[in-house]
Structure 1
Amino acid sequence: MAQWRERGHWPGCYDELWTHLQGWHGKQNGTRAMVAVLAPGPEFGHDRLRTAVATTVSLGACDVAAVRYLLTEAGLRKAKPKPIDVGALLLASGQHIASQPSGRRYAALAAGSHLFRHHSVLWPH
């Protein structure tokens, strides 16, 4: 961690997180946890790691898993698929598209049409 300080890769939020980790896990295990926080730095880049640590501290999470999540969460998002015209696919495959049902039968029922009178049920009073 001294090397990170010498290279200028040690902002104040790292000290803040380290202090919280030591308070939560004890000095030795807190230092181990801080080393685990720094481990993905070369893979994700120091700027991304700094942002993840600063966000973690600002949210009060102060946990190694929270930092890891913030580093990897962008990769968890899936691109929203573009809609496709299924009608074109059905026509290309030779299938026909059924027409949408009309509301004529319902309208006739609601109007008391003779088409539906033989299906009516008489309820006792």
Structure 2
Amino acid sequence: MLALGADAVQLGTRFLMTEEASVHDAYKSVALATGVDGTDLVGRKGLPVRMIRNDFAAHMRQIDLSACDKQEYEAEFRKSTLRQAALDGDVAWGKVELGQSAGLVDSIVPVSSLCSSWWLN
């Protein structure tokens, strides 16, 4: 990651894609299938989250274009949760949160291998 020119990195998405991560297998599968342009900021009128483009994200894009008030908007945004995706495996309507670099992750590995590869490089 630092080789891409960054001064620092956030590694949440990479650690989600490890054998030890206690997220649903469906979450890991959809994350692996996500391309470099497969995420979007959802909930722009409130507290946005970066997540995959799934059915819930498409629903929220339509809500973003509507003239609803803040209370209605927040009610729509709360219809989906991270728990719904990460623990229950609902990757269509749950919030599958991933970073922009999700498309660069192509494998599920043990944490020890992941950390070793960083130290060796």
Please, what TM-score do these two structures have when normalized by structure 2?
Answer: 0.25
Q: Return the structure number with greater relative CO, CA threshold 8 A, min gap 6.
A: 2
**More strand per residue: 1 or 2?**
2
Larger radius of gyration between Structure 1 and Structure 2: 1
Per the normalisation by structure 1, the TM-score is: 0.25
